[in-house]
Amino acid sequence: MLHQTQDLAILIEDIVWQFSGKSFNEECCGNLSYGEYRALYFIYQHGNISISELSEKLVLTKSGGTRLVNRLEEKEYAERKRNSRDGRVCCVGLTAKGEGMAQSLHQSFISRIDNTLKTLDDPLRDVVIAGFKIFKKALSENDENNI
């Protein structure tokens, strides 16, 4: 089992590398770092979110999440929104530019995966997708059991 675990760890690291720094001429995602991309895409998927919740979901410290949001704001991809009742910052959302970037990057990833899947025959493609689904489910269940 240890050998399989080590093999799988290496495969996962290689896949992550393929879709991070290596994937676009040593740049992850246009002018975004991989961390910035993850934050941008999480906000894109889930809508307005507090910095605390974003930090928790991306497994960052609150100060790390704040720095990511600051960088996204500097690039005009995100903006802090204020509570209309008390004026405090309540959450972070994407600007139109941020939404466009998220959509564009997501489409690039979809195209890359689609082109890769096209190199596999149908039965093997089904096995790969089923394997990923099973592994993701097992990860989620393991995480729930360890909370």
Give residue 72's pLDDT.
97
Q: Answer whether residue 8 is part of any domain.
A: no
Those residues with Cβ within 8 angstroms of residue 72's Cβ, 6 or more apart along the chain or in another chain: 36, 39, 40, 78, 92, 98
Q: Answer whether residue 72 is part of any domain.
A: yes
Q: Answer whether residue 53 is part of any domain.
A: yes
Domain count, the chain: 1
Predicted TM-score (pTM) of the model is 0.73
Give residue 20's pLDDT.
63
Q: Answer whether residue 96 is part of any domain.
A: yes
- CATH number for the domain that contains residue 35: 1.10.10.10
For residue 72, which of 124, 109, 107, 30 has the smallest C-alpha distance?
30
Q: Answer whether residue 102 is part of any domain.
A: yes
The half-sphere exposure of 24 on its side-chain side, counting CA atoms within 13 A, is: 16
Q: Answer whether residue 25 is part of any domain.
A: no
Q: Answer whether residue 17 is part of any domain.
A: no
Give residue 57's pLDDT.
92
Backbone φ and ψ for 5, nearest 5 degrees, come out as: -60, -45
Q: Answer whether residue 16 is part of any domain.
A: no
Domain, as residue range, for 94: 31-145
Low-confidence stretches of the chain (pLDDT < 50) are: none
